[in-house]
Chains A and B, each alone.
Chain A
Amino acid sequence: MWQVLQNLWNRISRPKPDLLAFPEIFEHFQALLADDQRVMELIADLGEKSGGEYIFDRKYLIDTTEEIQTLLLRMVKGVNLITANRYPDLYQAIDRIFIPLGAELRGRLLLSKEMPLVIPLAEAPQDRPELIGGKASHLAVAIQNLNLPVPGGFIITTRSYRLFLEHNHLEERIHALLESWVAGEHDERQVSRQIQYSILAGVVPREVAGDIRRQAEKSGGDWAVRSSAYGEDGELSFAGLHESLLHVPARGVIKAYKQVLASLYSPEALVYRQKMGMLGEEAAMAVLCQEMIPSRASGVVHTLDVSGRESDCLVMFASWGLGRTVVEGTGPADRYVVERDFPHRIRSQEIARKEKLVRAMAGGGEEEVPVPGEDQSRETLSEATVEALGRWALILERYFKRPQEIECAIDQAGNGWVLQARSLQLPKPTAPLRQDICETCALYPILIQDVGVVAHAGVGAGVVAHVSADADMDRFPEEAVLVTKYTAPWLARIVPKAAAIVAERGSAAGHLATIAREFRVPTLVGVERAMEILAAGMKVTVDTKQRTIYAGRVKELIQYELVQSMAFEDAPEFRLLRRILARIAPLHLLDPQDQNFTPGGCQSVHDVIRFIHEKAVEELMDLPRFVKRFKGVKIFTLVSDIPLGLKILDLGGGIAPEAQGTRLLPEHIRSWPMKALWEGLSSPGVWSTEPVPVDFQGMMSSLSKTVAVTPGATTVSGFNLAVISENYLNLHLRLGYHFNLVDARMETEAPRNHIYFRFVGGVTDLTRRSRRAQLLEKILSQFHFKVDTKGDLVVAKVLHLPREDMEQRLQLLGRLIGFTRQLDIQLRRDDDVPDFVEAFFHQNSPLGEKPPEGGSYDGK
């Protein structure tokens, strides 16, 4: 009888097949957390490698990508086990990310449909010169990263070129003709004529032509249609070998496109490619179409004097009218020698007698006309224009780390434009430097050596400017060396202006380091006493490659770097790494309530792990399932004066062994992060129990509010849970109508540590809730969090801080959770926000946690 009853009981109590038993859930959840951590570490590693301090090869990239994929697959399996297979679509998300990643690593992405046929300059990918050509890559950077005035336009990519050849069956024909030339059967003129004729007679495929027309008709004006061949503006110079057509009306762009393609096979281009040993390689041409600037004057800037006469100077040439005169050197031009130092004063100028100018003819084409008498001997460029051109030229040089040659135009209104920018070809004899670089550098006093971590490798020189507060940023001079205590995320705004960055604290994997790499600004972090040693106003040269900071401007070193050293950023391995990172590192899924927060919305590896983490935790929070699953598992209830109704699940080491029964006192908490947070939350005065005075609008809103519409709500209310271990905390806390999530790890090794804080909802209308979000943003960013807000959602993160700093911030979060509990009701006007920020700091200052001066650590 007993046996029968026992069997019956077993049958009833056996979990349904879709629900795993607790120990398994627990195991999967822990494995997920560990894998999540490992993937984040690998992503941080890849980011660090892109800073140039490491030497790595393609194999490293392949190995790391494979490891990430393995971890991700395991995580997808894990989350599906926990959730009874609710997210099988995650497997597709992984394929969507890793199939192109694999193709990228094997170098086979170029012909894929993912690559555009035609793309606007402002949207063009910068790390694909093989798709858009060197010229267009340079200009894409100038527009997108450097914000220089470049005329708008679009690129007809090399994918279009290949499609064109395929469509017209030209590949084999071209190949056969080239072979006949190499074999000496025909001369280059015959071969060139035949290939060019075939190209000009070809039909541009319909999808390409359609895209071109759509782009060309966007502008009412004429177009400049130029070659942008791969390698053209790089190490090799094809300057002038390929065609550029000017004043092309929109309807003529397709014809002009073919003409430019044909110029790839001009006799001169063929001979040049043969001489350079490139004939065997497949040539491919992208074509750049830019809006024409009706120019009053044109100029060329060299950031180095090619003649070698002027050291440490820029040289500018300029003349009236369109650029042909000065670019092709067909007429006399003014010559300006300009100081490299800001504000780029003119050191000397030679004004030429300019008798003729080239201008656009009505109805197309160009004409040469006489220059009016009074203008003939007048200087073409004003001092202000010289200053602007000099500044732009040096911005380009700093970014590309090579001396630059820039073509520019001045329009009828006097505005300057950058038309082209390329590496300046230096005459060979200047290449070996006369003096020895090591001996020369030894003549300059060294201020700092062998300290710090390289976030981005390079050399930059300028005047030291300390930045500790917002106001300092507005005063930050052009091309200065940014010296700061913390690598605060909010410093991002001035990164593009900085010649170099030196920070006392921070991590090479943080947010600011990522921005510095995007703008290629040499950056050294973890340099103790930098603020003290590098006094504001000093001139210094920062060589992060050698981790050395010199007093003064070491012009020999700057020139050595420009001429002798390579721009590692342009090496194929680094380009590949950046392209891989673009599919791995960015986080697009910020808000779990967003309709895109689905497996289908995952665009990057970071998105996938974020999604999995959220869903795994959500599953644990699902009360009905939770109760079933966790039957027999010890869940503690925290007993305290603060009425949180908090249940605690210990994954191990989070609770003192002496805790008895299921009720737990705060002093039994052993989990580091939980303890810190609780300290904040339970500080005197934090949990204000006085009722908040509610005004009419606030009250109406609170009455009409239901749980169901509260964003961020779990399905059942009144249930707060902390999942803890010795070093980990995941806390879901609903207080009234808003919802807090804290996910934190605190270990002895700083690189493993993180705090993730999410706050959403509230009792009042969205405007007031948004005010509270603003308030949180203000306070959290003072404490070095990277904060994103969207409406009433606040997402804040801080990474890689030592344990004691993490502790301080978790205490802060505890206090903030208490402080902001009902705050939205009180935030009646926008003006209330600063008062409450002030009140918070005032109220909390006795705890010794004034906002540290000057910004924040990295959060990412």
Chain B
Amino acid sequence: MTENKLRVLVLDDEPIVCKRLKPALEKLGFAVDTFTQSVEAMHQVQQSAYDIVITDLKMKEVDGMRFLEEVKKRRPQTEVIVITGFATMETAKQSFQKGVFDFIAKPFKLSEIQDVVTRAAAKIRGAGA
């Protein structure tokens, strides 16, 4: 059963986001890796395939938008969920155009992101079946 787990990568430069999301998603049955450094996350997605990627849009080093482009380029079937503290319609639209699965504005509830990830997982499993 463990091999069937969907793999989730979380990238947010605020450590608290990673620390809260990891156990919340693990308890839903996902295998979760978290990164606060975008360079490391970039390196990781180049090495390894993820089913779901959750990323912040505004970070210090790599722009979240560039990161999600890279993810989609390497593995188009990866579902990307964008979180950001700077919620505007413009960034939301922009990220949707890049094939983002959903968009969540900070502050958000843990149950909200759990719902979105569960929906993304259902889509992946549906497509794979």
What is the interface of chain A, defined by CB distance below 8 A to chain B?
A: 49, 53-57, 59-60, 436-439, 441, 450, 454, 457, 543, 545-547, 560-561, 564-566, 568, 571-573
- Among B20-28, B36-44, B88-96, which stretch is in contact with chain A? B20-28
Given contacts A60-B85, A571-B16, contact A546 B29 (CB under 8 A): no
Residue pair A56, B110 in contact (C-beta under 8 Å): no
> In the complex, which residues of chain B have a beta carbon less than 8 angstroms from the beta carbon of A543?
27
- Among B67-75, B101-109, B121-129, which stretch is in contact with chain A? B101-109
Residue pair A546, B109 in contact (C-beta under 8 Å): no
> In the complex, which residues of chain B have a beta carbon less than 8 angstroms from the beta carbon of A436?
1-2, 29
With both chains docked as a complex, state the minimum distance between the C-beta of A63 and any C-beta of chain B, in angstroms: 9
With both chains docked as a complex, state the minimum distance between the C-beta of B125 and any C-beta of chain A, in angstroms: 15
30 A-B pairs whose Cβ atoms sit less than 8 Å apart in the complex: A49-B107, A53-B109, A54-B107, A54-B108, A55-B16, A55-B17, A55-B107, A55-B108, A56-B107, A57-B16, A57-B107, A59-B106, A60-B85, A60-B106, A60-B107, A436-B1, A437-B26, A438-B26, A439-B1, A441-B27, A454-B110, A543-B27, A545-B23, A546-B24, A546-B28, A564-B26, A566-B20, A571-B16, A571-B19, A573-B16
B111: interface (CB < 8 Å): yes
> In the complex, which residues of chain A have a beta carbon less than 8 angstroms from the beta carbon of B23?
545, 560-561, 564-566
In the bound complex, CA of A564 to CA of B16 (Å): 14
Count of B interface residues, CB-CB < 8 Å? 23
In the bound complex, CA of A305 to CA of B21 (Å): 28
In the bound complex, CA of A438 to CA of B1 (Å): 11
With both chains docked as a complex, state the minimum distance between the C-beta of B49 and any C-beta of chain A, in angstroms: 20
With both chains docked as a complex, state the minimum distance between the C-beta of A505 and any C-beta of chain B, in angstroms: 19
Task: Given contacts A57-B107, A437-B27, A454-B110, list 15 more A-B pairs with CB under 8 A.
Answer: A54-B107, A55-B106, A55-B108, A56-B107, A57-B106, A59-B85, A60-B106, A437-B26, A438-B28, A439-B1, A441-B27, A454-B111, A546-B24, A571-B19, A573-B16
With both chains docked as a complex, state the minimum distance between the C-beta of A45 and any C-beta of chain B, in angstroms: 9
Chain A residue at minimum C-beta to C-beta distance from B107: A56
B63: interface (CB < 8 Å): no
In the bound complex, CA of A439 to CA of B24 (Å): 14
> In the complex, which residues of chain B have a beta carbon less than 8 angstroms from the beta carbon of A53?
109-111
In the bound complex, CA of A572 to CA of B27 (Å): 24
> In the complex, which residues of chain A have a beta carbon less than 8 angstroms from the beta carbon of B113?
55
Out of B21, B108, B111, which one reaches A547, CB within 8 Å?
B111
Main SS at interface, chain A: mixed
Residue pair B110, A457 in contact (C-beta under 8 Å): yes
In the bound complex, CA of A656 to CA of B107 (Å): 43
Residue pair A568, B107 in contact (C-beta under 8 Å): no
In the bound complex, CA of A573 to CA of B106 (Å): 14
Residue pair B27, A546 in contact (C-beta under 8 Å): yes
With both chains docked as a complex, state the minimum distance between the C-beta of A611 and any C-beta of chain B, in angstroms: 30
In the bound complex, CA of A55 to CA of B16 (Å): 8
> In the complex, which residues of chain B have a beta carbon less than 8 angstroms from the beta carbon of A572?
16
With both chains docked as a complex, state the minimum distance between the C-beta of A460 and any C-beta of chain B, in angstroms: 15
In the bound complex, CA of A55 to CA of B108 (Å): 5
In the bound complex, CA of A851 to CA of B109 (Å): 35
With both chains docked as a complex, state the minimum distance between the C-beta of B51 and any C-beta of chain A, in angstroms: 15
Residue pair A566, B106 in contact (C-beta under 8 Å): no
> In the complex, which residues of chain A have a beta carbon less than 8 angstroms from the beta carbon of B109?
53-55, 454
Chain A residue at minimum C-beta to C-beta distance from B83: A55
> In the complex, which residues of chain A have a beta carbon less than 8 angstroms from the beta carbon of B85?
57, 59-60
Chain A residue at minimum C-beta to C-beta distance from B104: A55
In the bound complex, CA of A438 to CA of B32 (Å): 12
Residue pair A57, B14 in contact (C-beta under 8 Å): yes
Chain A residue at minimum C-beta to C-beta distance from B114: A546
Most buried by A among B17, B110, B114: B110
Residue pair A566, B19 in contact (C-beta under 8 Å): yes
> In the complex, which residues of chain A have a beta carbon less than 8 angstroms from the beta carbon of B29?
436, 438-439
In the bound complex, CA of A547 to CA of B24 (Å): 11
With both chains docked as a complex, state the minimum distance between the C-beta of B31 and any C-beta of chain A, in angstroms: 9
Chain B residue at minimum C-beta to C-beta distance from A58: B14
In the bound complex, CA of A60 to CA of B105 (Å): 11
In the bound complex, CA of A54 to CA of B109 (Å): 4
In the bound complex, CA of A565 to CA of B22 (Å): 8
With both chains docked as a complex, state the minimum distance between the C-beta of A436 and any C-beta of chain B, in angstroms: 6
In the bound complex, CA of A561 to CA of B21 (Å): 13
In the bound complex, CA of A739 to CA of B29 (Å): 60
Given contacts A436-B2, A438-B27, A546-B27, contact A56 B106 (CB under 8 A): yes
> In the complex, which residues of chain B have a beta carbon less than 8 angstroms from the beta carbon of A54?
107-110
With both chains docked as a complex, state the minimum distance between the C-beta of A502 and any C-beta of chain B, in angstroms: 16
> In the complex, which residues of chain B have a beta carbon less than 8 angstroms from the beta carbon of A441?
27
With both chains docked as a complex, state the minimum distance between the C-beta of A101 and any C-beta of chain B, in angstroms: 19
In the bound complex, CA of A56 to CA of B107 (Å): 4
Chain B residue at minimum C-beta to C-beta distance from A573: B16
> In the complex, which residues of chain B have a beta carbon less than 8 angstroms from the beta carbon of A547?
111
Most buried by B among A55, A454, A568: A55
Most buried by B among A49, A441, A566: A566
Chain B residue at minimum C-beta to C-beta distance from A49: B107
> In the complex, which residues of chain B have a beta carbon less than 8 angstroms from the beta carbon of A49?
107
With both chains docked as a complex, state the minimum distance between the C-beta of A556 and any C-beta of chain B, in angstroms: 11
Chain A residue at minimum C-beta to C-beta distance from B31: A436
In the bound complex, CA of A546 to CA of B27 (Å): 8
> In the complex, which residues of chain B have a beta carbon less than 8 angstroms from the beta carbon of A561?
23
In the bound complex, CA of A55 to CA of B83 (Å): 11
Chain B residue at minimum C-beta to C-beta distance from A564: B23
Instruction: Please name the 7 residue pairs, one residue from A and one from B, whose CB atoms are nearest each other, closest first.
Output: A56-B107, A438-B29, A565-B23, A566-B19, A54-B107, A571-B16, A60-B107
In the bound complex, CA of A56 to CA of B84 (Å): 10
> In the complex, which residues of chain B have a beta carbon less than 8 angstroms from the beta carbon of A56?
106-107
Chain B residue at minimum C-beta to C-beta distance from A438: B29
Most buried by B among A436, A441, A454: A436
Residue pair A55, B2 in contact (C-beta under 8 Å): no
In the bound complex, CA of A454 to CA of B109 (Å): 10
Chain B residue at minimum C-beta to C-beta distance from A54: B107
With both chains docked as a complex, state the minimum distance between the C-beta of B88 and any C-beta of chain A, in angstroms: 14
Chain A residue at minimum C-beta to C-beta distance from B24: A545
> In the complex, which residues of chain B have a beta carbon less than 8 angstroms from the beta carbon of A59?
85, 106
With both chains docked as a complex, state the minimum distance between the C-beta of A848 and any C-beta of chain B, in angstroms: 37
With both chains docked as a complex, state the minimum distance between the C-beta of B28 and any C-beta of chain A, in angstroms: 6
With both chains docked as a complex, state the minimum distance between the C-beta of B64 and any C-beta of chain A, in angstroms: 14
Most buried by B among A56, A439, A457: A56
With both chains docked as a complex, state the minimum distance between the C-beta of B54 and any C-beta of chain A, in angstroms: 11
In the bound complex, CA of A572 to CA of B1 (Å): 37
> In the complex, which residues of chain A have a beta carbon less than 8 angstroms from the beta carbon of B17?
55, 57
With both chains docked as a complex, state the minimum distance between the C-beta of B3 and any C-beta of chain A, in angstroms: 11
Out of A55, A60, A560, which one reaches B20, CB within 8 Å?
A55
Given contacts A571-B16, A571-B19, contact A55 B110 (CB under 8 A): yes
